[in-house]
Structure 1
Amino acid sequence: MKNQYGKKQESSKAFKWFHATSVSGGAMMISAVISSYFSPYMTDTMMIPAAFASVIMFICSFWDAINDPMMGVIADRTNTKWGRYRPYLIPAPILLTLFSTLLWVNPNFPMAGKIAWVLICNIGVGMTVTMYTMPQMSLLPACVKGTEERNTIIAMGAGVTAVAFTIANTFTLQIKAFLESALGVSNGYIPMMLICGGLACFSFWGLFATSKEKYIEKSTDRNAMQDLKAILKHKELAPYIIVWIMASMGYGLMFASSVYYVMYYLARPDLIPVYMGIVSIGALVSMTVLMPIFLKIFKTGEKALVVSQTATIICYVILLFFGKSSLMLLYVVTFIATAVASMQNGLVNVLVNDAIDYIQLKEGFSANGVISSIKGFAQKCGGTVTNSGILAVLAASGYIAGAIGQQPESTLIALNFLRFGAPALTGIILLICLKFNPIDKYRDEIEEMKKKMTVEE
């Protein structure tokens, strides 16, 4: 096959597969399980009060956001015989497996000890995610310059993400129970993390073996502050940062609030697997079917994102006011909402490559790691608000752990807002910011620049 420059594809099928299954495969399953099930595990199993759990998540997520730019700067200045970004793909999945497994251990400690345990393990998971996310994101534009080929790989990764989320969100409780029965253990989350970690190691090590960094500077004498100043002086990129934050919040709320919503707002814990299955299958359809179609029809990630978010907001407003009136309405509209909303997680990655190309055009140097880390920083800021915010809102609303059917009215209102009202607001803000996309003005110049880079290969 040929790319848009009339040349053969720049990357192998193996590279495409391993890039798509690295962050989005076993590692994503770990993230999905933690995102959807760890907050209830903290409050209802470890019996950590929601207010303390909120502080834990805030500290972990905030530190996770701060270390993203640090990792981007380090990666851009790494020079080894294996490349700039590839070396980090070897140790990262090992550390991810270690910390994510320890996270689900419920030690027989006093409450202060449990809080410290969760804090340390959660920080470890977050730093490990940063260790592999920044290099993996930077690796794609370093290996592939063709926009269509990049988008194909991003779409593949989004599809794998959807499959991982479908498995993790729909079948986690069943997998946990099966592992407990088959292995004779009391906590099935622990062997589940080990299995997912093994899959992550396979994918990341495969990506290391099949990737070749071709489109990066050999070395740089610029310091980190010079890079950051050169990038951040382009205020045109500021809307991208807000878009990344809003996309992270909207996507995170979709999963992190669902278990609480079904368990306490609907007071139907028996429906958790069904509802999470609907959400997960909607995400699967979004990323494997609808996202490639949207990119093909609307040509750019920006336009596809505008259409998907507009449809999402409409669905969420309907569910905010009428979601509890009928289970059938809830199921159908939730599926549609998830099917048009979930692709935002993949489409915003298209904007990362756009920003990298923009800086290459304007400044004449590649800063893949720094720009990827800025996106990661924005994403983690959104995650900080989501992870700690949900628990903080529940604590402020008078949430009572385990009190199914007995939550105060203020908590029920908060749960409904967190599930549908808050992500509708993030979508509105995202749409406003996309009105100021700077790339449209320079798209032709960027394509000419990439053609020259391809010719010079």
Structure 2
Amino acid sequence: MLVLATIASYFSIYMTDTVGISAAAAAGIMFVATLWDAINDPVMGTIADRTNTKWGRYRPYFLFVPIIFVIASVLLFINPTGIDGIGKVIYIGGLYILLNMCTTALTMPQMAVLPAVTKNDRERNSVITLGAAFTAIAFTIGSTFTPQLTEFFGGSYIPLMVIYGIITIFCFWGLFVTSKEKYITTSEKSPFTKDLKKLFKHKEIYPLILVWCLAAVGYGFMFASSVYFMMYYIGRPDLISLYMGIISIGALFSMVVCMPIALKIFKTGQRAMLVTQFITFVFYGIAFIFGDNLIVLYVCSFIATAIGAMSNALVNILVNDTIDFIYLKEKTSLNGTIASLKGFAQKCGNTITNSGILALLAVSGYIPGAIGQQPDATMFTLNFVRFGIPAIICLVIVICMKYYPLEKYRSEIDKMKNGSID
């Protein structure tokens, strides 16, 4: 997350303002890369479900993939000054695709291994909550302090990628050592399309796929648009670090403090998601209307992030609900395939986020570096992508959670996990 937070918050503006790639070309890179990333998620999930080694089904990927991930992240921030515009697009685009593929090869097994380690919801939620807390800390560092850290290293992202990469490798190696896959069935030697058919024949998963996608869009728009928003809408590039700090600390507070409280009060991920997204919708709406006032902007941004950012972790509880539901119905472990389906939905959301913001800016007439000189259409777009779109997303998620399709199976799933059904 140290690597991914830096990329999520600063890669777009790095492409347009440092490498010199146009906003339209950068949007194209993000669209192609994240769309392909979404497509290969189900492939990776079904491959993981069919992996059989002496180390387990999911754990082998934690050994070698992190090394490739680190190499790609370092090369991504080497500015190819000696090649022309098309060459830069190919170079940046190719490395970004490779980095995303490595991310998929890590996150799919990572999500799949948890329900294979424990059936206990309290243990699962504890792991997800702690993981979300550390993720939020990493995101706070990556999104808030990157300008100061790159300045310390002479304006280069490369030392950061090396440091973050070493941490990444040791984290995944630690996961390899400490995890033990106990609750999985023997994988079938059958086409992966058979697993997908088992999933998609259950209409209950379709609203969940939508929520997984929208949670990624809302979270992505919040961070990816903030640098542009402060630089051009507010016209205060000197306040970027302060503002990113506010929303990053809000995200940290959300994961460390608010999410455990929400789960304790509401008991399930579904109810916690419903209430917190409605509250977030209200504060996004206030910020959209009155956000040009810095006090209102800071307060609403912090509260909305502190309440809403947990959605990115709560969806993992919904993934575990789905894994249990499919096991109840199909009597087979499809952890990797379901995790990959969530990854597919998330990557579709990332595609919308990464290419959507840049595409909307390009259409609105965005001028790189023109602080205080942006067209009115661009100014509206900046406000809309920062607060308007996330508010709409919150409202749709609230509706989906209000009619959560797996709720009626909860008692059967609990009986299954308690031993009534092996």
TM bucket, shorter chain: over 0.9
Equivalence for 1:410: 377
Is 1:252 equivalent to 2:212 in the alignment?
no
Q: What is the CA–CA distance in structure 2 between the aligned matches of 1:339 and 1:444, rounded to whole Å?
A: 31
**Secondary structure at 1:235's aligned position in 2?**
coil
How far residue 221 of structure 1 moved from its aligned partner, in angstroms, is: 3.5
Q: What is the CA–CA distance in structure 1 between the aligned matches of 2:77 and 2:241, rounded to whole Å?
A: 20
Higher alpha-carbon deviation: 170-179 or 339-348: 170-179
**Secondary structure at 2:153's aligned position in 1?**
helix
Matches within 5 A, 1:185-204: 187-204=155-172
How far residue 401 of structure 1 moved from its aligned partner, in angstroms, is: 0.4
Is 1:424 equivalent to 2:383 in the alignment?
no
How far residue 435 of structure 1 moved from its aligned partner, in angstroms, is: 2.8
Matches within 5 A, 1:94-113: 94-108=67-81, 109-113=83-87
Is 1:49 equivalent to 2:3 in the alignment?
no
Higher alpha-carbon deviation: 374-383 or 217-226: 217-226
Equivalence for 1:236: 204
Letter in 2 for 1:240: L
Equivalence for 1:132: 106
Is 1:163 equivalent to 2:137 in the alignment?
yes
Equivalence for 2:306: 339
Give the 3 Å change call, closer, same or farther, for CA 252–192 of structure 1 in structure 2: same
Equivalence for 2:231: 263
How far residue 315 of structure 1 moved from its aligned partner, in angstroms, is: 0.3
Q: What is the CA–CA distance in structure 1 between the aligned matches of 2:403 and 2:49, rounded to whole Å?
A: 28
Q: What is the CA–CA distance in structure 2 between the aligned matches of 1:216 and 1:453, rounded to whole Å?
A: 17
How far residue 370 of structure 1 moved from its aligned partner, in angstroms, is: 0.4
Equivalence for 1:395: 362
**Secondary structure at 1:417's aligned position in 2?**
helix
Q: What is the CA–CA distance in structure 2 between the aligned matches of 1:453 and 1:209, rounded to whole Å?
A: 32
Matches within 5 A, 1:366-405: 366-405=333-372
Q: What is the CA–CA distance in structure 2 between the aligned matches of 1:78 and 1:436, rounded to whole Å?
A: 36
2:61 to 62, 80, 88: 88
CA contact (8 A) 2:117 2:182 kept: yes
Equivalence for 2:277: 309
Equivalence for 2:186: 218
2:258 to 290, 301, 305: 290
Q: What is the CA–CA distance in structure 1 between the aligned matches of 2:109 and 2:405, rounded to whole Å?
A: 25
Q: What is the CA–CA distance in structure 1 between the aligned matches of 2:60 and 2:405, rounded to whole Å?
A: 33
TM-score by length of 2: 0.98
Letter in 1 for 2:55: W
**Secondary structure at 1:90's aligned position in 2?**
helix
Q: What is the CA–CA distance in structure 1 between the aligned matches of 2:227 and 2:38, rounded to whole Å?
A: 25
CA contact (8 A) 1:305 1:344 kept: yes
Letter in 1 for 2:276: S
How far residue 453 of structure 1 moved from its aligned partner, in angstroms, is: 7.8
CA contact (8 A) 1:236 1:436 kept: no
Equivalence for 1:4: none
Is 1:437 equivalent to 2:411 in the alignment?
no
TM-score by length of 1: 0.91
**Secondary structure at 2:230's aligned position in 1?**
helix
Letter in 1 for 2:306: A
Q: What is the CA–CA distance in structure 1 between the aligned matches of 2:193 and 2:363, rounded to whole Å?
A: 40
Q: What is the CA–CA distance in structure 2 between the aligned matches of 1:89 and 1:126, rounded to whole Å?
A: 15
Is 1:71 equivalent to 2:44 in the alignment?
yes
Letter in 1 for 2:364: S
Aligned-CA RMSD value: 1.0
Deviations 1:284-305 (A, max 9, x none): 1000000000000000001000
CA contact (8 A) 1:302 1:351 kept: yes
Q: What is the CA–CA distance in structure 1 between the aligned matches of 2:39 and 2:104, rounded to whole Å?
A: 10
Deviations 1:81-129 (A, max 9, x none): 0000000011121111111111111112100110000110100110000
Deviations 1:300-323 (A, max 9, x none): 001000111001100010000101
Deviations 1:343-392 (A, max 9, x none): 00000100000000000001110100000000000000000000000000
CA contact (8 A) 1:264 1:407 kept: yes
Deviations 1:208-239 (A, max 9, x none): 01111000013324431111101110011100
**Secondary structure at 2:183's aligned position in 1?**
coil
How far residue 450 of structure 1 moved from its aligned partner, in angstroms, is: 0.9
Deviations 1:9-51 (A, max 9, x none): xxxxxxxxxxxxxxxxxxx010000000010011111111101
Higher alpha-carbon deviation: 110-119 or 223-232: 223-232
CA contact (8 A) 2:254 2:309 kept: yes
How far residue 145 of structure 1 moved from its aligned partner, in angstroms, is: 0.6
Q: What is the CA–CA distance in structure 2 between the aligned matches of 1:232 and 1:161, rounded to whole Å?
A: 31
Q: What is the CA–CA distance in structure 1 between the aligned matches of 2:358 and 2:249, rounded to whole Å?
A: 26
2:320 to 353, 366, 379: 353
**Secondary structure at 1:392's aligned position in 2?**
helix
Letter in 1 for 2:207: P
Q: What is the CA–CA distance in structure 1 between the aligned matches of 2:145 and 2:274, rounded to whole Å?
A: 32
Query: Unaligned stretches of 5+ in structure 1?
Result: 1-27, 181-186
